[in-house]
Amino acid sequence: ALAIFFAGCGDLCVKIALFDNVEEARAAGAVAAGWVPDTLPKSASDLREGHLPDGRYWGVFSFPKADEAAVRAMVGEEINSGTLTCDPPGRLDWWPRLVRTPVNVEQVRTTGFKLYRGTDARTYVVNWGQGRAYYWH
């Protein structure tokens, strides 16, 4: 019972922030803290981030088609198979269920998303057609 209690406490510790654009995230200190990538194109919008005191964090942003090359420069090697671990707190209601442990790479890819090992040690899940990217570390 104690294990369940303490596991639930992680949700209480999560800090969540929403930003309209990168400049708002920068002004709030989210970029300097590392919760929002510093390489995002200036046109990125609808940024959301959630982080825990232990250093884990999750985020999402939208980007226009015109800045696809800038986002591609952030992501590295594509992940084509296997299973990944991603355990966001339940309070991140904007985090897709499909990208929760266990993350079945093949199944995620059938939905239009592609997974990448970022050049910045993050893992990215990108839907290029929608201009939407999720990341975690």
104-132 pLDDT, tens digit each: 999 999 999 999 999 999 999 999 999 99
- pLDDT the model gives residue 6: 41
- Which tokens belong to 49? 């981030």
Q: Which of 6-15, 63-72, 91-100 has the lowest mean pLDDT?
A: 6-15
pLDDT tier at 99, thresholds 50, 70, 90: very high
- pLDDT the model gives residue 1: 39
Residue 17 DSSP SS3: strand
Average pLDDT rounded to a whole number, residues 5-25 = 79
**CB neighbourhood size of 15 (10 A):** 14
70-84 pLDDT, tens digit each: 999 999 999 999 999
Instruction: Say whether pLDDT at 3 is over 60.
Output: no
- Integer Cα distance of 1 and 33 in angstroms: 34
